[in-house]
Amino acid sequence: MKNKVVNEREYAFKVSAAGRVNIIGEHIDYCGGKVFPAALSLKNTVYIRPNGTNKINIGWTTLDTTVSLDIDKLGEYRNLDYGNYQAGSLYMWQSAGHKIVGCDMIQDCTVPFGSGLSSSAAIEVSTIAAMCAITDTPVDNVKIAIAARRAESEYIGVNCGIMDQYASACGRAGHAILLDCATLDAEYVPIDTGDCSLVIINCKKPHNLVESKYNERREETDAALEILRGVTGIKNLAELDGKTLDAHASLLSPVLYKRTKHVADECARVAAAEQAMKSGDMVSLGNILDASHESLKSLYEVTGSELDALAAAAQSHPACLGSRMTGAGFGGCTVSLVKTAAVADFEKYVLERYKKATGYTAEVYRATIGDGITITPIGK
């Protein structure tokens, strides 16, 4: 279906929140590690106006359906095919003591669904921010991110970390966020990749099992922490360095060892990537991306043959300095560091090679690094 055109002037506010790409630091946010995501210009936009009732009426630019939620029953919409993310986000916002009013909203999402670029975080965050706009609630981006994450884990059922919702809410154009997921301290680092560009490509493998596999990884890291906490005194798995892990390796099953090794190594890679980015050392950054993919493939086991084929195709191009999967994995996108002058040739080459290897037609996204939440009042 062709996207419906929104008559902006019928609404009071236009509120957006971003999708995200994670440059490095995968599957360590829920272990209390530091991650390095950036908000994308791909986003979810909510057009909203109060309607003076106790109903939240939701429409979409991409769907013919509409959904009406009762503001006093927001906890009861978990099983909706459409509108459950919005209901869950507003329910968590309401449960945190914030004001919810009846309204009409149209949702317009340019983050491709199932791409691993966090369309769900963009929807959750923008929906809460839109409610803030019509209730005169001061916009606290971090509080919104926290409520949105709760919606994803407690309402939708994906026991995720804070990275996606934080990047979606708090992103800044041209910057990556070095986010400490244990403390929520954040440093904005300019994305200065010199004569290179970040290229995002979707492997287009139909997503399945993402949620159950994701939750399984999370349980594994929780189990490893439980075992290691007593002997090492750590509070988060990400506090463990490689040496300490190896000293206690015999306490872990082979699977838990592999998962924990990924976590320790990936934390070290984030620190190295921060230095590489700050000093403009793109060769090192590229090598770190390659090493991250390899670890997600063989230790954390979240890539799958399609993402592996896509990363391998990218890595084999002479103008590519490094490539890795980004996001939860099990499908979705890779992010590659490529000499800007050769990007067109790189994209053509990777798509052809990947198609030959898997039969799937991958898709390149032309996105820039954008802002998190933006709120624009619409003048009558």
Taking CB under 6 A as the criterion, the residue among 11, 12, 29, 295 binding ligand GLA is 29
**Interface with ligand GLA, residue 14, by CB under 6 A:** no
Using the minimum distance from each CB to ligand GLA, give the nearer residue, 28 or 105. 28
Output the smallest distance, CB 270 to ligand GLA, in A. 11
Contact 300, 325 (CB under 8 A): no
Please, what sign has the CA dihedral across residues 66, 71, 77, 83? positive
Residue numbers 73-92 binding ligand GLA by CB under 6 A: none
Contact 114, 332 (CB under 8 A): yes
Residue numbers 233-262 binding ligand GLA by CB under 6 A: none
* Binding footprint of ligand GLA, residue count (CB under 6 A): 11
Q: State whether residue 277 is helix, strand or coil.
A: helix
**How far is the C-alpha of 17 from the C-alpha of 46, rounded, in Å?**
9
Q: State whether residue 206 is helix, strand or coil.
A: coil
| Residues designated catalytic | 164
Judged by CB under 6 A, the stretch of 26-34, 220-228, 336-344, 359-367 that binds ligand GLA is: 26-34
**How far is the C-alpha of 208 from the C-alpha of 228, rounded, in Å?**
32
Output the smallest distance, CB 269 to ligand GLA, in A. 13
Binding mask 324-363 for ligand GLA (x = CB under 6 A): ---xx-----------------------------------
Please, what sign has the CA dihedral across residues 276, 278, 281, 287? positive
- C-alpha distances (whole Å) from 156 to each of 65, 78, 148, 150, 213 are 20, 7, 11, 9, 15
Taking CB under 6 A as the criterion, the residue among 104, 108, 124, 164 binding ligand GLA is 164
Output the smallest distance, CB 319 to ligand GLA, in A. 27
Q: For 2, list phi and psi in degrees, rounded to 5.
A: -75, 140
Taking CB under 6 A as the criterion, the residue among 11, 12, 18, 26 binding ligand GLA is 26
Using the minimum distance from each CB to ligand GLA, give the nearer residue, 164 or 308. 164
**How far is the C-alpha of 245 from the C-alpha of 264, rounded, in Å?**
8
Rule CB under 6 A: which residues touch ligand GLA? Answer: 22, 26-27, 29-30, 160-161, 163-164, 327-328
